[in-house]
């Protein structure tokens, strides 16, 4: 084991400040990251499609030359980035984890990729993902599995598992991810980092052929500190004419910088209230130890003035699951229908993809409308909860990181799982809500496996959720205090 370079151990905020103060050169930064990736990525398989070293160093030298002329592209100037392999990257292979797209090289960037490039980031490759992002375990036939930074025999979660593992192992300063069924949250919990699912429309999603229906999938930031998370969210968010559902710019997020982000997040939370929903009164099976870690974390909330109260489920959870299945089949199945109707590509789809597509084949307009009515009723029930409480807290996952060779957990606490995503049902209600959700680390079980907790805020109140997480981070900095052995020095 080699001691990591001090450069890769800096937070993204610190790295940005060091680059702009000319304390480190962009070339130094690139060399340090590439050397670190060479040392630790073989054991994790988090970063894929790594680009040519000579070309990356040339880009870094160009970034240094720009700074020498007094020109900075933005706070990410000269910082290495590796977008998730579901995001299109101009000139860099984008496989979606599917053998069908093994050699796909897009001519354009996704919106989130375009924005980090504009902020000065240098793209060094991609982060691994399951096929089409289906399932919360990162493995695919193109690149293989991504392994957990704390135990390589275990899953890193998914579908942003490559991003979370790369962050935890200090191979990236910040990372992007996407989330439909917990894909920014579950891997964050499994890898002891922060993952943020923004409010619906906060981060423009696309480009995509269909612009008006995709309300459940979104892109967002992952980071090792809440400050870094907020900075990347500020870069990703804001309206885009190509995406009609994008929210207007948030005036605070839009003006965040390494110099002001700490002050923007530091507010008095005295009097705020958190509703602890736990396992939905026993409805959700949980592996031993998860509820206890979350409850231990919540005991620190009064330290910064926040009251925590346990509540009964505000809505029948089985109804939430049923409307989820309809929406999931409709959106996921129809998006991949062309691959199913072509026999050559259908033969290369994994069973979970076929199951989603076939689940959409018999759907009627009436069933979809009824599911949307049910989702609307859940929204109204949630708003009644937010009349009494400012936030809701639930575990990030129902199991600790599991065997990396297992496709998905078949049972939890003796209860069988009837779908490939039933084991992560704890994230579903919050996807349907459109609310901002952050996964914060809550510690480790007896064998050293990480876990996280979701903190949910009111619709479009992303900044409030970040501020709560920042206050918690001050009293329980699990990322800084418990790095993986490979980077512990």
199 catalytic? Reply is: no
Token digits of residue 267: 């507010």
319 catalytic? Reply is: no
CA distance 106 to 98: 15
Residue 393 within any structural domain of the chain: yes
CA distance 419 to 428: 13
Proportion of the chain in helix, strand, coil states, percent, rounded to 5: 40, 15, 45
What pLDDT, on a 0 to 100 scale, did the predictor assign at position 276?
98
What pLDDT, on a 0 to 100 scale, did the predictor assign at position 79?
98
Among 411, 399, 386, 181, smallest CA distance to 273 is for 386
Residue 1 within any structural domain of the chain: no
Give bridge partners of residue 456 from the DSSP assignment.
392, 437
CA distance 386 to 382: 6
Within 10 A of 211 (CB to CB), how many other CB atoms are there? Answer: 13
Q: Which of 5, 16, 25, 84 is catalytic?
A: 84
**Structural domain of 472:** 6-487
* Whole-Å CA distances, 351 to 162, 389, 407, 420: 22, 41, 11, 10
Per-residue tens of pLDDT for the chain, all 489 residues: 579 999 999 999 999 999 999 999 999 999 999 999 999 999 999 999 999 999 999 999 999 999 999 999 999 999 999 999 999 999 999 999 999 999 999 999 999 999 999 999 999 999 999 999 999 999 999 999 999 999 999 999 999 999 999 999 999 999 999 999 999 999 999 999 999 999 999 999 988 899 999 889 999 999 999 999 999 999 999 999 999 999 999 999 999 999 999 999 999 999 999 999 999 999 999 999 999 999 999 999 999 999 999 999 999 999 999 999 999 999 999 999 999 999 999 999 999 999 999 999 999 999 999 999 999 999 999 999 999 999 999 999 999 999 999 999 999 999 999 999 999 999 999 999 999 999 999 999 999 999 999 999 999 999 999 999 999 999 999 999 999 999 997
What pLDDT, on a 0 to 100 scale, did the predictor assign at position 1?
59
Is residue 317 within 8 Å of 280, Cβ to Cβ? yes
What pLDDT, on a 0 to 100 scale, did the predictor assign at position 128?
98
Residue 437 within any structural domain of the chain: yes
SS3 for 235? Answer: helix
Q: Which of 98, 110, 136, 159 is catalytic?
A: 159
Is residue 401 within 8 Å of 190, Cβ to Cβ? yes
Long-range contacts of 5-9 (CB under 8 A, 24+ apart): 5/32, 5/35, 5/36, 7/32, 7/33, 8/32, 8/33, 8/36, 8/170, 8/171, 8/487, 9/170, 9/487
Among 300, 223, 224, 227, smallest CA distance to 479 is for 224
What pLDDT, on a 0 to 100 scale, did the predictor assign at position 251?
97
Q: Which of 5, 183, 237, 464 is catalytic?
A: 183
What pLDDT, on a 0 to 100 scale, did the predictor assign at position 169?
98
CA distance 200 to 318: 23
Residue 244 within any structural domain of the chain: yes
Within 10 A of 367 (CB to CB), how many other CB atoms are there? Answer: 13
What pLDDT, on a 0 to 100 scale, did the predictor assign at position 214?
85
Residue 42 within any structural domain of the chain: yes
How many structural domains is the chain composed of?
1
Residue 20 within any structural domain of the chain: yes
SS3 for 81? Answer: strand
DSSP string of 116-155, one letter each residue: HHHTT-EE--EE---GGG-SSS---TTT-PPEETTEEEEE
What pLDDT, on a 0 to 100 scale, did the predictor assign at position 449?
98
Angle between helices 226-236 and 12-20 (to 10 degrees): 70
What pLDDT, on a 0 to 100 scale, did the predictor assign at position 241?
93
> Model-level pTM?
0.98
Residue 444 within any structural domain of the chain: yes
Residue 114 within any structural domain of the chain: yes
159 catalytic? Reply is: yes
CA distance 167 to 46: 9
Is residue 116 within 8 Å of 76, Cβ to Cβ? yes
Q: List the CATH number of the domain containing 420.
A: 3.90.1300.10
Distance of CA 16 to the CA centre of its chain: 22
The DSSP bridge pattern shows strands 411-412 and 307-310 to be unpaired
């Amino acid at each position: 084991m080699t001691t990591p370079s001090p450069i890769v151990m800096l937070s993204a905020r610190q790295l940005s400040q060091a680059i702009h103060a000319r304390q480190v050169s962009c070339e130094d930064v690139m060399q340090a990251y590439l050397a670190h990736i060479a040392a630790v990525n073989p054991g994790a398989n988090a970063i894929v499609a790594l680009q040519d070293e000579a070309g990356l160093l040339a880009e870094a030298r160009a970034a240094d030359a720009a700074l020498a002329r007094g020109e900075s592209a933005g706070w990410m100037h000269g910082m290495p980035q590796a977008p998730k392999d579901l995001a299109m990257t101009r000139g860099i292979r984008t496989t979606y984890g599917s053998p069908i797209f093994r050699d796909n090289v897009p001519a354009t960037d996704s919106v989130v990729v375009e924005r980090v490039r504009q902020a000065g980031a240098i793209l060094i490759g991609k982060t691994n993902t399951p096929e089409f992002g289906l399932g919360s375990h990162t493995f695919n036939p193109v690149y293989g599995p991504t392994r957990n930074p704390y135990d390589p025999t275990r899953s890193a979660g998914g579908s942003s598992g490559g991003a979370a593992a790369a962050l935890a192992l200090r191979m990236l300063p910040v990372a992007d991810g996407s989330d439909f069924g917990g894909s920014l949250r579950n891997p964050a919990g499994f890898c002891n980092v922060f993952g943020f699912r923004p409010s619906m429309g906060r981060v423009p999603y696309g480009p995509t052929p269909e612009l008006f229906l995709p309300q459940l999938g979104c892109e967002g930031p992952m980071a090792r500190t809440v400050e870094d998370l907020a900075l990347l969210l500020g870069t990703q968010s804001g309206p885009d004419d190509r995406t009609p559902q994008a929210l207007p710019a948030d005036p605070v997020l839009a003006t965040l910088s390494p110099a002001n982000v700490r002050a923007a997040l530091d507010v008095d939370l005295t009097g705020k209230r958190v509703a602890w929903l736990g396992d939905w009164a026993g409805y959700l099976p949980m592996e031993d130890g998860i509820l206890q870690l979350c409850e231990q974390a919540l005991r620190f909330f009064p330290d910064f003035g926040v009251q925590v109260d346990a509540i009964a489920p505000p809505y029948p959870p089985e109804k939430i699951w049923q409307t989820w299945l309809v929406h999931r089949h409709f959106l996921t199945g129809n998006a991949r229908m062309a691959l199913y109707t072509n026999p050559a590509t259908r033969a290369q789809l994994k069973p979970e993809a076929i199951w989603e597509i076939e689940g959409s084949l018999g759907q009627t307009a009436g069933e979809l409308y009824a599911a949307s009515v049910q989702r609307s009723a859940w929204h109204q029930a949630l708003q009644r909860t937010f009349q009494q409480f400012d936030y809701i807290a639930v575990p990030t996952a129902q199991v600790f990181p599991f065997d990396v060779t297992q496709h998905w957990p078949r049972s939890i606490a003796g209860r069988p799982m009837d779908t490939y995503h039933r084991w992560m049902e704890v994230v579903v209600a919050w996807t349907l809500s459109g609310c901002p959700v952050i996964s914060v680390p809550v510690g480790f079980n007896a064998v050293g496996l990480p876990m996280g907790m979701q903190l949910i805020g009111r619709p479009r109140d992303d900044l409030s959720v970040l501020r709560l997480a920042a206050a918690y981070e001050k009293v329980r900095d699990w990322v800084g205090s418990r790095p993986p052995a490979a980077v512990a020095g």
